[in-house]
Structure 1
């Protein structure tokens, strides 16, 4: 069974749906639908093996604490072995599947996306922590696994409490939990941006706009105008905080979506090209080959061999 707790939060508008071949799932919450929440904590206690097919959570970020046991995470088509104690960080829209070995003990902390953005805004390092999916090994630090377990257990108690200050308490415990995980990582591993706090926030806003508009082939000036900054300021912030040009960041997002469609979907290369805003499938193939080093069809064939090796990766 799954023991869980969740904290209430005012509802937010749901983003418009987008073309995708990856299943987008909402988190199951064992509470009446009308109750709103911003943090959910679940303890999975089922015995035996547990496997989920690749999917994404469009409205949530997720932190999975594997207290003991091991398995393999299918992360954007790539197999990533893990063994407890460890923490798996899965940002919003990250495509992932999980294959736990028998009797893995795990806690799942799910955070509503707008609230996660508020927490991340406290520190640029938090933004960097959630910038990419990652597995954080805790076994090398004495007592760290116990500390993380205690924080998550306290968080579960706080989010189901109706006591005064329960929202503030939840936020404090969640912040401490993320800070604990951040400190367990090499700062270089988090991909922490070297730019100023202002540049980091500019790049974060830019990334969100890219997610909304990368299929539309918008000029860079349109992005800058939406952010009420100049194109020079946008380029400077991206160079400082992301060490990439604004154009390269758009290209990277297109390639990520193309890879997802090639790995997890059954659309033809031409259909994928059109879905990503390319008027010419041949140009899409040249673009993909330039960025990835393989033609889309070659990438699909190679990537789809990976899941067959999942059982051999442990």
Structure 2
């Protein structure tokens, strides 16, 4: 029996991209004859998996509305999972890559930096909104996703129009779009108590399942399926209620049990490794050293030399 990669150790993070080597991208627009364009709206519906390598847009900010589908956003080397409906907000100079795991219906709003600065000056909360890249979920309300989609469709129509006042109309719609994002983030905060209560219940259920199955080499998807939630929801709940990833919570439970066995039991390191679902003692030793900072045998000696040792709590 071997522990799953997710249960044995966290996935290797993508190496942090260096700004000196990250491509600085100038974006394609549908109407290149308009050299003074300041907003562009595109609709993308690739089939299957689709990925972009880490890059930056020094002259543009982007709002990507993921209407459906899911994927992972690489932000400065950190992985941020997302699932539609949601919004990915990418400020200028933000180093990012996108890996769309499934067929994704998405709208991409690109805003030229000087114009974005002008719009942001209207409201302090706009400036705060763009201070860092983020994923803003819209999944709690079906109406929110529909409303945001309709706003973007109207924006696309206005941007491509030559009607009287289309510049003013575009600015009004951009303002409305950003205002909705600000209100979404603020409504998340005001609804934080109920969301937190739900997250706490989810994490409590997850902990109980870990207690029951941490020796069984289960994948995170197995836990999510037992809880009838998606991996995105499970990760979000853990981040909110425990400030740990689901994988780290599994690791913590395995380490707690390993420490108990090392301190209070008589099994050898190899026997403990097998009892916890590891294929061999060498791998268990590497795992334990990475999580604790000591080899299991060193930990056992040091712990047993301590007078009046107390049982470890979970």
TM-score, normalisation: structure 1: 0.53
1:156 and 2:149 aligned? no
Which residue is equivalent to 2:173? Answer: 173
Shift of 1:48: 1.6
Q: Deviations over 1:36-94 (max 9, x none)?
A: 20000000022121100000000000000000000000001000000000000000000
Q: Secondary structure at the match of 1:32?
A: coil
Residue 37 of structure 1 corresponds to which residue in structure 2?
37
Which residue of the partner structure matches residue 138 of structure 1? 138
User: Which residue in the other structure is 1:83 paired with?
Assistant: 83
List aligned pairs for 1:9-28, cutoff 5 A: 20-28=20-28
Structure 1 residue 114: Cα displacement: 0.2
How far apart are 1:34 and its partner, in Å?
5.5
The SS at the match of 1:186 is: helix
Give the drift of 1:35: 2.8
- For residue 51 of structure 1, what is the aligned residue in structure 2? 51
Distance 1:147-1:133 versus aligned 2 partners, 3 A rule: same
Report Cα offsets for 1:227-265 as digits up to 9, x if no partner: xxxxxxxxxxxxxxxxxxxxxxxxxxxxxxxxxxxxxxx
Q: Distance in 1 between matches of 2:180 and 2:37?
A: 24
Displacement, 1:99?
A: 0.2
Q: Secondary structure at the match of 1:26?
A: coil
Q: Give how far 1:188 is off.
A: 8.9
Matched, 1:97 2:94: no
Distance across 2 between alignment mates of 1:58 and 1:187:
30
> Structure 1 residue 114 and structure 2 residue 114: aligned?
yes
Q: Which residue of 1 aligns with 2:69?
A: 69
Sort the Cα spacing of 1:115 and 1:146 in 2 relative to 1 into closer, same or farther, 3 A.
same
Q: For the residues of structure 2 that align with 1:145 and 1:187, how far apart are their CA atoms?
A: 15
Q: CA deviation at 1:119?
A: 0.4
How far apart are residue 137 of structure 1 and its match?
Answer: 0.4
SS of corresponding position for 1:185: helix
Q: Distance in 2 between matches of 1:21 and 1:188?
A: 36
Gaps of 5+ in 1: 1-18, 190-301, 303-314
- Kindly tell me: are residues 76 and 187 of structure 1, through their superposed partners in 2, closer, same or farther at Cα, counting changes over 3 Å? farther
Extract structure 1 runs of 4+ deviating beyond 6 A: none
Q: Which moved more, 1:35-44 or 1:25-34?
A: 25-34
Q: Secondary structure at the match of 1:99?
A: strand
RMSD (CA atoms): 1.9
Structure 2 counterpart SS, 1:136:
strand
Which runs of 5 or more residues in structure 2 are unaligned?
1-18, 190-289, 291-314
CA spacing shift, 1:138–1:34, aligned 2, 3 Å: closer
Size of the alignment, in residue pairs?
Answer: 173
Give the Cα separation in 2 of the matches to 1:140 and 1:188: 10
1:158, CA displacement in angstroms? 0.2
Q: 1:188 to 1:180 in 2, by over 3 A?
A: closer
1:123 is displaced (CA, Å) by 0.4
User: For residues 97 and 32 of structure 1, what CA distance do their matches in structure 2 show?
Assistant: 25
Which of the two has higher C-alpha Rg?
2
